[in-house]
């Protein structure tokens, strides 16, 4: 992997030597299309006579001056580090370097919009990529004050963490290529920003270019007026115009909710939200200047699930301003303190402060299912994960850190009580403001506020891996009166840990309208292997009993036999969205575990989709339905089942309410099958407009979904994709087009897509993801026979020659959008994966983790498919 690693031990040693750093950084972004000039002066204290180092990834370093003495660059700049020998008590180091723009979404990314030729720059510094832009002690516990200055073309905007102090016009012009091909040079401006508060380097940020801008302000709870702004590419200006006020409103609701619940007003000088192209993540919590992927600006119709997720993401990043930015982890092992808390709080805020009141059902269907999936792999880890170096950190942005951690925090709130929980959070934020803290610091404040000793709780929930399963045994007499109910908790052999749970048991019955509704609820503590539910004894047994009602704890559940049979027939009747999500997830869980026939899951899901209105549950159910049909159904049954599913999805779409979210999702899902005898007529009819659904507009993104679906069945003429792109050549459409081309199910196209993903240096990170995804998207095993071994033969080269994020997208840890040929014979994939792992025992932990995840998912597919083969 390019760039130097940093171990936890090295970081601890450096922070023991270095103190009180201050940075003055000037970036000259006017010198051409490939590189920029980074001029950094760092002042800091140190132990006299000690040595340390700065981090810097640069093409060339022009000068390094330490305490007035110019150092020999060739001697002290090695392996992306600048050695600093013989330090004084007070030190000044000056570094001038030429750094490279990236097209991989790391460091300072440079994107050219083909629709108008405009160039947009933005930074992404998490985990430790500030060093790609300026010389820095790039670790979270060496917080500093930063003074940033940017030189850029005068027609551009320059944005950073703090408000502008002044802007000067310079007496010179930009150099060739700065503004793009064929554009004339123009004058240069110098933007000087106010000094930042003390902050970690990974939270510093820049966005520079001809961004469109909207403004507002917030009356902060401390009496200040906080300026707010939204930014996006000029090409997306019209779409942002429609949503700007809504996004400001959601953000203001978040300000008020967090300030009220924590008793700490928003602490920074401004709040900008910048929507940027070709972004690797969903968003990033840079202080005062959050960056988002600009697919969150909706030019075309999106599902309500995506619109809901945008709100969650806005509130997630806003929560970080307090939790992660205001108080920051000391080292990356406490990454969960940032992400789990922001995930929990954004769900709570979305449910309680916005129109998306059903957001805990969204969390259950989306986030919790992600956690359950990853927690059942051998690569699972404690929520407080061991992080020995930066490479370990990269792979912990996962379902354990985000979703399991958030679910466990929800359990903690139930355990200590909401009022005491947030009192402890208030005290934690006040005590460690603008500094760094650890898990123990947080637990101490929560324990003091609640009076509970949380050490044992932490050891079981945060410091141990794995997931429990809670099953119900219900005994009744001949009159249907419950005589006993026992909850049994179990744990997998590899993680034999039983945990304390605060959960609820819900009774559900059919009402007069034919809906399944809750009639009673019993909350209790579950601890150890067996827990009697005494409160239900003597009551009439309801039609259905739900363990973990309201989803208070993090666990797999196994319904009693009578409840399971009832839910199988009546899932579509459940009135409460969270109850439906929990029950649906429990059926998916036993299907994935090879305890429930895949075709039964498909049948109950198709029936439930006919009445489901919660968009995220609908979205995930459709995905699970696809996995069951494509991967889990017995081989001889697969084609007829796929055809049956496709036809049912089309029928449901025709019966859905005009213009509804369900109609939209069903049509898009149908396009992913391509096995319906009427598929080409349907797809072509939608594309031409000869076939219409009332309320459904075939807009830009839906057109590309249809084109990609036709390409995946080899139903397009030569040049048809290029002709579609020529109608509207944009950043997004170039990504759609290359993905569609890679989806064509022929040997020659797969060979081209494979080579392009690995070797075409002109592709952006987003285009690489699309071409790799198109390569692997065809459910035709014969296409990938030769690629199983090629994949494993290429892994080492990818890891060595690509940046981490590009390597991750190609090697594909569970995303289903990389080069891993997941539709190949699973037995072949498992054998090749096991062989690679056996021969790479000394490989980087991050890389081994990716291969292990893929191999285990293929092993699960093989196991579940064999289970269903035996049933057929």
Is 114 within a domain?
Answer: yes
Q: Encode pLDDT of 230-251 as tens digits.
A: 999 999 999 999 999 999 999 9
One domain, residues 390 and 504 = no
Mark whether 772 and 864 lie in a shared domain: yes
Residue 681 reports pLDDT greater than 60: yes
The answer on 568 and 449 residing in a single domain is: no
Place 229 in a pLDDT band, splitting at 50, 70 and 90.
Answer: very high
Residue 172 φ then ψ, to 5°: -160, 170
Residue 814 pLDDT > 80, yes or no?
no
* Domain contains 776: yes
Q: Both 503 and 440 in a single domain?
A: no
Lateral strand order in the sheet of 289-293: 212-219, 225-232, 271-276, 289-293, 283-284
pLDDT of residue 385: 81
446 and 492 housed in the same domain: no
Strand residues in 47-155 grouped as ranges (E) = 52-55, 60-66, 69-70, 77-78, 81-84, 90-100, 107-112, 119-124, 145-153
Q: What is the mean pLDDT of residues 501-515?
A: 97
Q: Are residues 110 and 62 in the same domain?
A: yes
Q: Would you say residue 3 has pLDDT above 60?
A: no
Active-site residue, from 285, 299, 317, 769: 317
Q: How confident is the model at residue 387 (pLDDT cuts 50, 70, 90)?
A: confident
Give catalytic status of residue 317 as yes or no: yes
State whether residue 555 is helix, strand or coil. Answer: coil
Residue 378 maps to which CATH number?
1.10.390.10
Point out the domain boundary residue: 140, 175, 210.
210
pLDDT at 294: 97
* pLDDT over 60 (residue 829): yes
Could you say which DSSP state residue 183 is in? Answer: P
DSSP single-letter state for residue 503: E
Note whether residue 389 is domain-resident: yes
Contacts of 68 (CB under 8 A, 6+ apart): 92
Q: What is the pLDDT of residue 368?
A: 93
Asked if the structure places residue 726 within a domain, the reply is no
pLDDT at 1: 36
What average pLDDT is seen over the chain?
A: 95
CB 392 within 8 A of CB 386: yes
From 157, 179, 210, the end of a domain falls on 210
Q: Are residues 176 and 29 in the same domain?
A: yes
CATH number of 113's domain? 2.60.40.1730
Q: Quick one: pLDDT at residue 126?
A: 93
Mark whether 193 and 69 lie in a shared domain.
yes
528 and 431 in one domain? no
d(CA 333, CA 338): 11
Any idea which residue has 């097209």 for tokens? 103
59 and 146 share one domain: yes
Q: How far is CA 796 from CA 251, 264, 698, 840, in A?
A: 44, 48, 43, 10
**Residue percentage of the chain with pLDDT more than 90:** 94
**Quick check: helix, strand or coil at residue 80?**
coil
The two structure tokens encoding residue 420? 């005491």
In-domain check, residue 703 = no
How many structural domains does the chain have?
4
Q: Which domain holds residue 192?
A: 8-210
Sheet holding 482-490, edge to edge: 530-532, 482-490, 469-476, 556-558
Q: How far is CA 454 from CA 143, 407, 523, in A?
A: 29, 17, 21
Q: Looking at the domain assignment, is residue 384 inside a domain?
A: yes
Residues 162 and 177: their CA atoms lie apart, in Å, by 29
In a domain, 412, yes or no: yes
**Is the confidence at residue 73, as pLDDT, over 70?**
yes
The pLDDT value given to residue 393? 84
pLDDT at 331 over 60: yes
Q: Are 411 and 386 in contact (CB under 8 A)?
A: no
Mean pLDDT of all residues in 181-191: 94
Helix 615-627 and helix 577-592, axial crossing angle in degrees, nearest 10: 10
* pLDDT higher than threshold 90 for residue 551: yes
16 is a domain residue: yes
Q: Give me the CATH number covering residue 474.
A: 2.60.40.1910
Residues 804-809: what's their mean pLDDT?
Answer: 90
Say how far apart CA 45 and CA 15 lie, in whole Å: 11
Residues 68 and 153 in one domain: yes
As a whole number of angstroms, the distance between CA 809 and CA 816 comes to 9
pTM for the whole thing?
0.96
Q: Is the pLDDT of residue 395 over 80?
A: no
Mean pLDDT within 14-37: 97
pLDDT at 842 over 80: yes
Q: Which strands sit side by side in the sheet containing 501-510, from one edge to the other? A: 516-526, 501-510, 544-547
CA atoms within 13 A on the CB side of 596: 22
pLDDT score of 123 more than 80: yes
Domain match, 169 and 109 both: yes
pLDDT band at 396, cuts 50/70/90?
confident
Q: Specify whether the CB–CB gap between 680 and 715 falls below 8 A.
A: yes
SS3 228: strand
Q: What is the pLDDT of residue 2?
A: 37
pLDDT at 182: 84
**pLDDT for 207 beyond 70:** yes
Domain finish residue from 163, 194, 210:
210
Range of weakest confidence among 113-127, 184-198, 325-339, 612-626: 325-339
How many Å apart are CA 792 and CA 789, to the nearest integer? 5
The pLDDT of residue 397: 82
pLDDT of residue 817: 79
Of the listed ranges 52-61, 401-410, 433-442, 811-820, the one predicted with least confidence = 811-820
Parallel, antiparallel, or unpaired: how do β-strands 327-329 and 435-437 relate?
A: parallel
């Amino acid at each position: 992997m390019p760039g130097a690693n940093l171990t936890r031990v090295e970081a601890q040693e450096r922070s023991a030597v270095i103190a009180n750093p201050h940075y003055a950084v000037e970036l000259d972004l006017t010198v051409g299309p490939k590189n920029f000039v980074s001029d950094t002066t760092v002042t800091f204290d140190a132990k006299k006579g000690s040595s340390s180092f700065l981090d810097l990834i640069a093409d060339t370093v022009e000068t390094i001056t330490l305490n007035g003495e110019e150092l020999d660059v060739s001697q002290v700049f090695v392996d992306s580090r600048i050695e600093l020998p013989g330090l004084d008590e007070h030190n000044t180091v000056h570094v001038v370097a030429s750094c490279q723009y990236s097209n991989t979404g790391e460091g300072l990314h440079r994107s050219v919009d083909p629709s108008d030729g405009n160039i947009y720059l933005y930074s992404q510094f998490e985990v430790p990529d500030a060093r790609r832009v300026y010389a820095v002690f790039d670790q979270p516990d060496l917080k500093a004050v930063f003074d940033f200055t940017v030189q850029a073309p005068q027609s551009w905007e320059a944005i950073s963490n703090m408000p502008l102090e002044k802007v000067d016009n310079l007496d010179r012009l930009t150099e060739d290529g700065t503004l793009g091909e064929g554009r004339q040079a123009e004058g240069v401006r110098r933007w000087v920003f106010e000094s930042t508060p003390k902050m970690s380097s990974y939270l510093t940020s820049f966005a520079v270019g001809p961004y469109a801008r909207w403004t507002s302000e917030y009356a902060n709870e401390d009496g200040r007026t906080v300026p707010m702004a939204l930014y996006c590419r000029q090409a997306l200006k019209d779409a942002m115009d429609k949503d700007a006020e809504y996004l400001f409103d959601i953000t203001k609701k978040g300000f008020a909710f967090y300030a009220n619940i924590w008793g700490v007003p928003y602490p920074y000088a401004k709040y900008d939200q910048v929507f940027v192209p070709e972004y690797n993540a969903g968003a990033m919590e840079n202080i005062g200047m959050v960056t988002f992927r600009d697919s969150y600006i909706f030019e075309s119709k999106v599902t309500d699930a995506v619109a809901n997720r945008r709100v969650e993401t806005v509130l997630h990043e806003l929560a970080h301003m307090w939790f992660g930015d205001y108080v920051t982890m000391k080292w990356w092992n406490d990454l969960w303190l940032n992400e789990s808390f922001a995930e929990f709080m954004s769900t709570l805020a979305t449910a309680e402060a916005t129109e998306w009141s059903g957001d805990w059902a969204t969390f259950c269907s989306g986030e919790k299912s992600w956690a359950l999936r990853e927690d059942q792999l051998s690569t699972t880890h404690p929520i407080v994960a061991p992080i020995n170096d930066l490479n370990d950190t990269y792979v912990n942005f996962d379902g354990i850190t985000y979703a399991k951690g958030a679910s466990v925090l929800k359990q903690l709130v139930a355990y200590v009580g909401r009022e005491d929980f947030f009192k402890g959070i208030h005290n934690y934020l006040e005590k460690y403001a603008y500094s760094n803290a650890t898990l123990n610091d947080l637990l101490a404040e929560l324990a003091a506020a609640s009076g509970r000793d949380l050490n044992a709780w932490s050891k079981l929930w945060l410091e141990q891996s794995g997931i429990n399963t809670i099953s119900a045994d219900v005994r009744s007499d001949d009159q249907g009166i419950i005589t006993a109910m026992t909850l049994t908790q179990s744990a997998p052999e590899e993680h034999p840990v039983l945990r304390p749970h605060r959960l609820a048991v819900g009774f559900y019955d059919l009402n007069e309208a034919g809906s399944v509704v809750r009639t009673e609820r019993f909350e209790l503590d579950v601890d150890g292997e067996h827990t009697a539910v005494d409160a239900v004894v003597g009551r009439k047994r309801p039609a259905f009993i739900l363990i973990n009602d309201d989803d208070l704890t993090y666990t797999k559940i196994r319904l009693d036999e009578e409840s399971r049979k009832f839910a199988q027939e009546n899932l579509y009747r459940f009135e409460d969205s969270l109850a439906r999500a929990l029950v649906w997830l429990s059926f998916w869980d036993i299907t994935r575990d090879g305890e429930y026939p895949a075709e039964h899951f498909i049948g109950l899901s198709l029936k439930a989709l006919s009445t489901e209105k919660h968009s995220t549950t609908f979205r995930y159910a459709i995905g699970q339905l696809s996995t069951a049909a494509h991967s889990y159904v017995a081989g001889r049954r697969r084609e007829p089942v796929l055809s049956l599913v496709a036809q049912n999805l089309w029928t449901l779409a025709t019966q859905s309410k005009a213009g509804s979210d369900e109609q939209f999702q069903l049509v898009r899902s149908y396009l992913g099958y391509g096995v319906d005898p009427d598929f080409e007529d349907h797809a072509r009819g939608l594309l031409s407009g000869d076939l219409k659904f009332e309320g459904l507009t075939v807009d830009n993104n839906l057109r590309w979904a249809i084109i990609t679906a036709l390409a995946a069945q080899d139903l397009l003429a030569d040049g048809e994709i290029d002709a579609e792109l020529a109608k509207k050549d944009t950043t997004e459409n170039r990504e759609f087009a290359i993905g569609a081309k890679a989806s064509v199910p022929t040997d020659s196209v797969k060979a081209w897509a494979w080579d392009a993903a690995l070797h075409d240096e002109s592709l952006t990170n987003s285009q690489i993801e699309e071409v790799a995804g198109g390569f692997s998207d065809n459910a035709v095993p014969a296409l990938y026979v030769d690629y199983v071994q090629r994949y494993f033969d290429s892994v080492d080269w990818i890891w060595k020659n690509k940046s981490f994020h590009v390597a991750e997208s190609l090697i594909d840890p569970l995303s289903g959008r990389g080069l891993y040929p997941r539709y190949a014979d699973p037995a072949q994939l498992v054998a090749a994966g096991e062989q690679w792992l056996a021969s790479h025992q000394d490989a980087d932990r991050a890389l081994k983790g990716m291969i292990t995840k893929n191999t285990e998912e293929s092993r699960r597919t093989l196991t579940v498919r064999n289970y269903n083969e035996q049933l057929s």
